[in-house]
């Protein structure tokens, strides 16, 4: 079960990144004079929904992963600290920002404000996600997939 969830979590990361980048690019390109359409709403909702699905899988992994250990001195190990604290905290902040951006876009009075909320909150969330991913070059024991 652990390996299957880990592979799903690692593979889904790429879909999350692609959808977030697509939503951000879409919002920035239409921010000045674009019209908010059902396609824009669906793109934003799909990106947010996939981020939440990724969070649920990650939450299950958090409780069954051997990389998360709350033994004495776990904060001294960069790998254990990353997975027990840094990764989770960064992703929670990013998910909150993406959810806030989606909510603000739904409630905004003008199309420009809708695109502005998506472009701002999703971009900040994406930056935090990119900083919180255990990329292989960070020597945290993770692979590209």
pLDDT at 140 over 90: no
Q: Is 110 left (phi over 0), alpha (psi -120 to 50) or beta?
A: beta
- Predicted confidence at residue 73, as pLDDT, reads 81
Dihedral angle over CA of 117, 123, 124, 126, nearest 10: 130
For residues 20-57, b (16+ Cβ closer than 10 Å) or e, as one string? beebbebbbebbeebebeeebeebbeebbebbeebbeb
CB atoms within 10 A of CB 82: 20
pLDDT at 34 over 80: yes
Give residue 120's pLDDT band: very low, low, confident or very high (50, 70, 90).
very high
Tell me if residue 62 falls in helix, strand or coil: helix
- Predicted confidence at residue 103, as pLDDT, reads 98
Q: What is the DSSP string of 1-33?
A: -HHHHHHHHHHHHHHHHHHHHHHHHHHHHHTTT
Alpha-carbon distance 15 to 11, whole Å?
A: 7
Taking only the tens place, the pLDDT of each residue in 50-103 is 999 999 999 999 999 888 877 788 888 888 888 899 999 999 999 999 999 999
- Predicted confidence at residue 119, as pLDDT, reads 98
């Amino acid at each position: 079960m652990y390996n299957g969830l880990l592979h799903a979590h690692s593979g889904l990361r790429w879909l999350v990144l692609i959808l977030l980048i697509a939503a951000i690019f879409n919002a920035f390109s239409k921010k000045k004079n674009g019209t908010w359409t059902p396609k824009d709403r669906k793109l934003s909702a799909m990106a947010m929904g996939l981020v939440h699905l990724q969070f649920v899988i990650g939450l299950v992994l958090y409780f069954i992963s051997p990389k998360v250990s709350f033994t004495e001195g776990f904060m001294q190990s960069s790998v254990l600290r990353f997975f027990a604290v840094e990764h989770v905290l960064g992703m929670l902040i990013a998910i909150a920002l993406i959810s806030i951006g989606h909510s603000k876009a739904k409630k905004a009075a003008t199309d420009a404000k809708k695109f502005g909320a998506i472009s701002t909150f999703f971009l900040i969330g994406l930056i935090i996600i990119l900083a919180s991913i255990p990329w292989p070059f960070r020597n945290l024991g993770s692979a590209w997939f």
